[in-house]
Amino acid sequence: MANTHSNIKRIRSNKVKLAKNAIVRTTAKTALKNGREAIKSGDASAAVEQVKKAIQALDAAAEKKVLHKNNVARRKSRLQLQLNALATKKSK
């Protein structure tokens, strides 16, 4: 248990930050999941829209430093690769 006022305040502020960061993280993960599901469904126009939303959510998480920028870059890259594979599969 914390025994100084600054440590007690740090614990309180960390709880608030944890709650706020959880919202951003969950939003990003949900958008990413929706993007992947849209790609699996095979509908190219819906997939493009969902991937765009996922990239925006991931960028917001990186900007707020909820997710590390390299982690976000990796997730965006993999998602874009999946979308590009769908586009090439549709064009053939």
Per the structure, the count of domains in the chain is: 1
pLDDT at 92 over 80: no
The end-to-end CA distance of the chain, in Å, is 63
How do residues 37-75 score in pLDDT, each as one tens digit? 999 998 899 999 999 999 999 999 999 999 999 999 999
Which range marks the domain in which residue 49 is found?
5-91
CATH number, position 22: 1.20.58.110
Q: How far apart are CA 92 and CA 77, in angstroms?
A: 23
* pTM value surpassing 0.95: no
